[in-house]
Copies of this chain bind each other. A is one copy, B any other.
Amino acid sequence: MTDLAHLNPRHRELIALVELHGHASIEFLAQRLNCSAQTVRRDIRKLCDANVLQRFRGGARIEKPQVRLGYATKQDVQQVEKGRMAALAVSQLQEGDALFLDTGTTCDHVARELLNYRKRLHVVTHNLTAALTLAAQHQLLDIHVVGGKVAGRDGALTGSRTIKELTSYRLDVAMIAVSGIDAEGYLLDFDSEKIQVKQTMMRHAGRKVLLMGSAKLCQRGIQRVAHLDEFDQVICDVPAPEEIQTLMAYPERWQEAL
């Protein structure tokens, strides 16, 4: 166990990317990490020496000791991009707005961004980490947590109680995150309990905002959450790829976070 203490953000994102897919090619990683293939090779060699990854010709993979990939490492994927998307989403809020906040690391970034929002807001969430982050501003923000059963390491509350409580609200905005997207433009996720929560939030909100990093564009899920067209805004860190644009009735709803 060598020094895994001072790994730079690129190392962390590299690990996260490999964990996310189980394996990744040098070229893919070089493109994602914005560096040369040479550097990726060096990083991989280092991480393999530290027994974090296993390498194969052309890339690296990870033996998953746990089926569930760590919530902590998910945070390392597209950290900067998630921050930018969160900032854009928050910048479009108005004083006094009431919003639903979904679970996921992207929404955690929104919570962090809201700390710097200096105006009154109402926030309703089933996201424990976000709620705890927001608690630092509880004098300014009106934060409501819906009841439920803790469903994941990230502190997502789900279950019939959660759904039932959500239905008693009617808010201005819902900020939703998902795991992936399919070829027809439907957003996907894995946990049906969490999907129910997302759908309920959308039904009880005026403006629906989707937060989806470009990494999600090539990822999947097992169950449909909603269609792209059901959202009033789609916030991403890159412009909409052509194949996505053709799936949208209103491609102008796509927004790129700079």
Binding site for B on A (CB under 8 A): 5-9, 12, 19-23, 54-59, 61, 63-68, 70, 72, 75-76, 79-80, 83, 108, 112, 116, 128-129, 131-136, 138, 142-155, 157, 161, 165
Contact assessment for A66 and B20 in the assembled complex, using a CB-CB cutoff below 8 Å: no
18 contacting pairs across A/B (C-beta < 8 A)? A6-B56, A8-B59, A9-B22, A9-B23, A65-B112, A68-B136, A128-B131, A128-B145, A135-B153, A136-B153, A138-B150, A142-B149, A143-B150, A144-B147, A145-B148, A145-B157, A147-B161, A147-B165
Contact assessment for B150 and A144 in the assembled complex, using a CB-CB cutoff below 8 Å: yes
**Which one of A150, A153, A154 has the greatest number of beta carbons of chain B within 10 Å?**
A150
Contact assessment for A56 and B9 in the assembled complex, using a CB-CB cutoff below 8 Å: yes
> What is the distance, in angstroms, from A134's C-beta to the closest C-beta of chain B?
7
Contact assessment for A138 and B157 in the assembled complex, using a CB-CB cutoff below 8 Å: no
Q: In whole angstroms, how far apart are the Cα atoms of A210 and B18 in the complex? A: 26
Contact assessment for B143 and A58 in the assembled complex, using a CB-CB cutoff below 8 Å: no
Residues of chain B within 8 A (CB-CB) of A8 are 56-59
Residue of B nearest to A58 (CB): B8
Residue of B nearest to A154 (CB): B135
Q: A135-B128, A145-B147 are in contact. Are A112 and B153 (CB under 8 A)?
A: no
Contact assessment for A6 and B112 in the assembled complex, using a CB-CB cutoff below 8 Å: no
> What is the distance, in angstroms, from A52's C-beta to the closest C-beta of chain B?
13
Contact assessment for A152 and B135 in the assembled complex, using a CB-CB cutoff below 8 Å: yes
Contact assessment for A153 and B138 in the assembled complex, using a CB-CB cutoff below 8 Å: yes
Q: In whole angstroms, how far apart are the Cα atoms of A145 and B129 in the complex? A: 13
> What is the distance, in angstroms, from A22's C-beta to the closest C-beta of chain B?
5
Residues of chain B within 8 A (CB-CB) of A133 are 66, 68
Residue of B nearest to A108 (CB): B66
Q: Which of B20, B79, B112, B128 is within 8 Å of A128, CB to CB? A: B128
Residues of chain B within 8 A (CB-CB) of A161 are 147, 165
Known: A65-B75, A132-B155, A138-B150. 20 other contacts (CB 8 A): A6-B54, A6-B55, A6-B56, A6-B57, A9-B59, A20-B83, A20-B116, A128-B131, A128-B145, A132-B132, A135-B155, A136-B153, A138-B151, A142-B149, A144-B149, A145-B147, A145-B148, A145-B149, A145-B157, A147-B148
Contact assessment for B112 and A135 in the assembled complex, using a CB-CB cutoff below 8 Å: no
Residues of chain B within 8 A (CB-CB) of A155 are 131-132, 135
> What is the distance, in angstroms, from A243's C-beta to the closest C-beta of chain B?
31
Contact assessment for A23 and B147 in the assembled complex, using a CB-CB cutoff below 8 Å: no
